[in-house]
Amino acid sequence: MIAQKPALRLEGIVKTFPGVRALDGVSFEVMPGEVHALLGENGAGKSTLMKVLGGIYQPDDGTIFIDEAPVTMGSPLDAKAKGVVFIHQELSLADELSVAENIYLGELPTKSFGRVDWDSLHSNSAAILKRLNCKFTPQTIVGDLSIANKQMVEIARALTVDAKAVIFDEPTASLTDAEKVVLFDIISDLSRQGVGIVYISHRMDEIFTISTKISVLRDGEYRGSLATAETNEDEVTQLMIGRSLDLGQKVEHAQTGKVAIEVRNLSCGSLYHDVSFKVRSGEVVGFYGLVGAGRTEIAETLFGLRNPTDGTIHLDGEEVRIHSPVDAIRHGISLVPEDRKGQGLVLGMNCRDNMTLPQVADLTAGPFVSDGAEIAIFDQYRDKLAIKTPSWRQRVGNLSGGNQQKIVIGKWLSMAPKVLIVDEPTRGIDVGSKSEIHNLIRDLAKQGYAVIVISSEMPEVLRVSDRVVAMFHGEIIREFTSEEVTEDNLVQAISGIRSDKVA
């Protein structure tokens, strides 16, 4: 065999932030055509490593080689020019511009006098969109697209240059299964063309589907690499968190009490209609369905963010009207929202203040907020959720993605609600913490809380739920008890096969 040269090599990369050694001499290489999965716990340094590679951060020490020649990445544009393209975890598109303009943002083709060459802009964009199997036109305004389609635009951007390496940082977080298949096709396509791929994800199923090699980071250090074909989930988990986990196993279920929340014939325009269900205290009900099935909208209605057009909500047997989150919180309903950056966190505030935000009015001593009471709450949930931060003073915006999610969860758990609604609770969370959060949800149920879990991850729904509600196109298709639910009948239900709908 001919010894291939790596397309990309990082050597001894060090990057520190105040109080954090995010990368401690990491070396890493990507061969042409390889799909290299990068794994590690939340805050292990994966995104930081890739940001160094993508020219967003400058390393404190270490060297980057492209085709074995040392380079410096001055800026993201510089990195792109050198053939390294970064597809971000968070979308960074201009909502007011068209798809084509976004794809070629910063490098619009021009004619004389700097006029934009619309014809070639649109035809080039159309070609890229076709390659991605996208159904929308280059002229579409990005703001009108769904999140998944926006992600496609983000990917389309990467294809405008002759890329040597493409980095995907948790690209599937907001994609449906069908869209995922398309993404994986694109990735294999790129790898066949000799492009090296770095793929960051916390979802083992994806990693074992797509990758050829797996590398693990832990606490900013490189822990080793494994060939995907020769390893298994357990071995990878061991390397990542130093112990094994049994995520498939169902957690123990609790005694259920009386009905805590009941929804009768609830409708909201075209978003969902005639939805009825009950959740008892001590029970976890999972809502499973495709993205866009109306689950988030139901949650938002229960939390007072949307007004229902019809139907009623009952708490402890009494009808209630919930017009705002203030009402919801007063009634003991909490919502961990789907989009942590937009709806959940105040990024400029520190960790502690974010966590105590909904209850700070109850944490006063005289006219002032009590520092001690706040820190006590923060400490408790930092330990419970294993939140990784140098101190409570750290700005939440500086935490890794998964740790940000944990802050949001901690915020609502610390409110000790009667009804807790969690929307995609473990999106972007590492396997170790994922099982922690699952256990925590079960713990809450055991303590008598009624919990609603909305998730697009089937194993998660199967693991934590006492009952599973399957939704399709704004309707409840079927309810399963934990005994009768299986992957197969769940898949059937949510793809709209209604033959077995119970009357």
Q: Under the criterion CB under 8 A, does residue 406 sit at the interface with other proteins?
A: no
Nearer Cβ to ligand ATP (48/281): 48
137, 188, 307, 364: residue in contact with other proteins (rule CB under 8 A): 364
Amino acid identity, residue 158?
Answer: A
Q: Under the criterion CB under 6 A, does residue 294 sit at the interface with ligand ATP?
A: no
Q: Under the criterion CB under 5 A, does residue 48 sit at the interface with Mg ion?
A: no
Write out the binding residues for other proteins, residues 287-326 only, by CB under 8 A.
303, 305, 324-326
Q: Under the criterion CB under 6 A, does residue 231 sit at the interface with ligand ATP?
A: no
Q: Under the criterion CB under 5 A, does residue 337 sit at the interface with Mg ion?
A: no
Angle between helices 401-413 and 431-446 (to 10 degrees): 10
Provide the 8-state DSSP code for 21. Answer: E
209, 343, 380, 495: residue in contact with other proteins (rule CB under 8 A): 343
Nearer Cβ to Mg ion (83/401): 401
CA dihedral sign of residues 457, 460, 465, 467: positive
Q: Under the criterion CB under 8 A, does residue 372 sit at the interface with other proteins?
A: no
Cα–Cα distance measured from residue 194 to residue 171, given in angstroms and rounded to the nearest whole number: 20
User: What region, left, alpha or beta, does residue 240 occupy, with left being phi > 0 and alpha being psi -120 to 50 degrees?
Assistant: alpha
Exposure on the CB side of residue 243, measured as CA atoms within 13 A: 6
Q: Are 460 and 272 in contact (CB under 8 A)?
A: no
Tell me if residue 266 falls in helix, strand or coil.
strand
Q: Under the criterion CB under 6 A, does residue 388 sit at the interface with ligand ATP?
A: yes
Cα–Cα distance measured from residue 120 to residue 137, given in angstroms and rounded to the nearest whole number: 14
34, 39, 47, 163: residue in contact with ligand ATP (rule CB under 6 A): 47
Which DSSP string do the residues of 121-152 spell out, in sequence order? HHHHHHHHHHHTT--S-TTSBGGGS-HHHHHH
Q: Under the criterion CB under 6 A, does residue 43 sit at the interface with ligand ATP?
A: yes
Cα–Cα distance measured from residue 166 to residue 195, given in angstroms and rounded to the nearest whole number: 7
Write out the binding residues for other proteins, residues 84-143 only, by CB under 8 A.
92
47, 149, 201, 433: residue in contact with Mg ion (rule CB under 5 A): 47
How buried is residue 90: exposed, middle or buried, by Cβ count under 10 Å (0-12/13-18/19+)?
Answer: exposed
Q: Under the criterion CB under 8 A, does residue 369 sit at the interface with other proteins?
A: yes
Nearer Cβ to ligand ATP (57/472): 57
4, 5, 17, 205: residue in contact with other proteins (rule CB under 8 A): 17
Tokens (6 digits) for 407: 């802050």
Q: How far is the CB of 165 from ligand ATP (least distance, A)?
A: 18
Among ligand ATP, other proteins, Mg ion, none, the one that 269 touches (CB under a kind-dependent 5 to 8 A) is: none
Cα–Cα distance measured from residue 295 to residue 276, given in angstroms and rounded to the nearest whole number: 13
Cβ neighbours of residue 328 under 8 Å, at least 6 residues apart? 302, 303, 304, 322, 334, 335
Q: Under the criterion CB under 6 A, does residue 341 sit at the interface with ligand ATP?
A: no
Interaction mask 394-433, ligand ATP, x per CB under 6 A: ----xxxxxx--------------------------x---
Cβ neighbours of residue 197 under 8 Å, at least 6 residues apart? 30, 34, 35, 36, 165, 166, 167, 168, 187, 190, 191
Tell me if residue 168 falls in helix, strand or coil.
strand
Nearer Cβ to ligand ATP (393/501): 393
Q: Under the criterion CB under 8 A, does residue 80 sit at the interface with other proteins?
A: no
Q: Are 490 and 500 in contact (CB under 8 A)?
A: no
Q: Under the criterion CB under 5 A, does residue 401 sit at the interface with Mg ion?
A: yes
Q: Under the criterion CB under 6 A, does residue 17 sit at the interface with ligand ATP?
A: yes
Q: How far is the CB of 244 from other proteins (least distance, A)?
A: 35
Q: How far is the CB of 421 from other proteins (least distance, A)?
A: 12
Residues near other proteins, by CB under 8 A = 16-18, 51, 56-58, 60, 75-76, 92, 303, 305, 324-326, 328-329, 335, 337, 342-349, 353, 357-358, 360-361, 364, 367-369, 397, 411
Q: Which residues bind Mg ion (CB under 5 A)?
A: 47, 401
